[in-house]
Chain A
Amino acid sequence: MSTLKNKPGANGAAEILVHPAQGNTPAPCMLGCASGGDVRLWMGIVAQRGKLGLSNAQAYARAWGLITETNPFPATLGRICPHPCETACNREGKDGAVAINAMERFLGDWALQFHLPLSRLEDAPPGASIGVVGAGPAGLSFAYQLARRGHRVTVYERREQAGGMLRYGIPAFRLPKAILQSEIDRIVALGVDLRLNVAVGRDVSVEDLRERHDMLFLGIGAGSAARLGVPGEDGPGVIGGIEFLNAVNRGEGYGQLSEVVVIGGGNTAIDAARSARRRGASVSLLYRRTRDEMPAIASEVDAAIAEGVSIEFLVAPTSIRRDAIGPNAVMVQRMALGEPDASGRRRPVPVPGATFAVPARLVIAAVSQNVDWSGLEPLDTGTRAGDAGTLGDGVLSGGDMLGLGIAGMAIAQGRQAAEAVHAKLTGAARPAPPVRRASPARDVAADFYPARPPAQVPEQLVAERIAQPDLEVHETLSETAFLEEAERCFSCGQCHGCQYCFMYCNGGGFVRLDETQPGAYFALSLDRCLGCGKCIELCPTGFLSPVDAPG
């Protein structure tokens, strides 16, 4: 038995040898991305532009093109996405996650500035007719993916403008309407027939749609605010969070407000509270759990607090007290956290005897939202969940109507439904779903990368924000900051061409490739491998991993 061992339990001289394999483990950011984008790849194009022989503009265009493969709204999502990609980022443990979201916004804005069109795919146009109900992120994503594949797509929107929740549910200080409109226009420019002010059930029937189109997609969202279910809720002065934001976004009413109470802990509640603050109100936000359980984007909660929104945690409304004018207070019950519920969050339970009143002239209930099926009742099969939301023969769905989620998720559902439709119509193979491995690349040599704090996104002063309600709070990164931020990417699990393996392989096992791209700088020839394992040890990204001896 050999005394040479590198692995526990290894026997025989040959077993000290370690041979590398080039891996393809997905990066945590890719698994985190709700819209299914290959973050590592587009980031790599920018960071490695020098090695790839690309000018800055060429790199931006290619990176933007890669993003729009899955998400036609980079400038929009670059502003509003809660960026689960950054939460997953391996760099978080070193000196802060890469500011992926801010970088996406830079590319989105850059493409708008230079009027980059969305790309069409090379497929021969099959010419099928597709109907889409609802011009929100899911419907528009679906329309985009089919239009670029050559199908004829008609989108029916009952409101006066497209965008759905992106337009009517998100205030302008987070997402300027002009940015959203430009990104929608780009989709329409692919030949999508967008019919505004057309309500199914009123202006066109479900039967008409079935007759006109080969396939139907529903992306009608969940725009109906859920009720609080407490006494005093009915009557003027109590409004749903989404309805309040709708009104604000349409510029209707709510000139100046006084005392406002917002109930809820999601993004709608925070957006409503911040919008109310910008209309002169003193705002109290009531949430029945603690900050840790709050589903809203943490930085937005911080911004709300900085803008003067007072947040009361662990309280639940019990009734709304009214006087002759309308509501004058929300009666609340103090709560404490009990056992975890189905969502894994600890369930709030009442503290006996602890009740008090919070003064309120306007109560905004932002606790949840429901799907409004009016006009589409024949299609309501009661089915909600499932891949691409199949609602029966020839009808698919996506977006919030499948369950409340973030815009990125709606965009992904729209794309997946489109891929399924295209595959069905053309007989082409449907793209394999991305490999969602349980273990993304974590074996990264963080010490290889010089320490550098993440880019700071410039933001407006609080006084300016309150004075100008529609002033966008955050600015876009400068080009310098954007490029520096790209350098911070670890390229987890993918070769970024550092050349350490090549430079230190004594056997000459790595051969430079003529045509390079992120993940493909060297060809590996195990025939020449001496088995020292140095390349694996040196590889900073975890792209090289040990395999058993060949043969």
Chain B
Amino acid sequence: MTEGALGKTYRNGELIVRQGEEGNCMYVVQAGTLEVLREEHDGSVRIAVMNTGDIFGEMSIFEREVRSASVRALGEARVLSIDKKTFLRRIQEDPPLAFNLVKIMAHRIRMLSEEVASLKQKTAPPAARVNAQERRAGQDRRHGRDRRAGVDRRTAVVGRLRNA
């Protein structure tokens, strides 16, 4: 890591947030890669990987829940924290400051909806599945997106679940 670096540097494997702990800040990845781990009773599952520029932990800005997942460094990584108090105060002065967060959260809701649809589709009969796929393809064309292959898309959707 160079001298001209902002944030705090974490070693490989070091935890940035721990699932179940109370959070009072969100984070922006400045450099390196992080993994989001959901700890279940039979071990932990990686549910997302994050890179430079990604924001995580933003739920704690708006609610008083504990962290829903752990985040740890994959190799050396640098992360800048944004504390809740400062951020909320600045939003009072400059409401559009929250716009970027709202955008990120809206995007995540969309991804989650798709994920839910995808899971439902798996359990639905074959004819209904085809209709659902066509409908979704039509939506994507309207939004100017390319539809990725089913398995890849699922990974991508999971990769965006960063509500640690």
Q: Do chains A and B touch in the complex (CB under 8 A)?
A: no
Taking Cβ atoms with an 8 Å cutoff, the residues of B that contact A are: none
Taking Cβ atoms with an 8 Å cutoff, the residues of A that contact B are: none
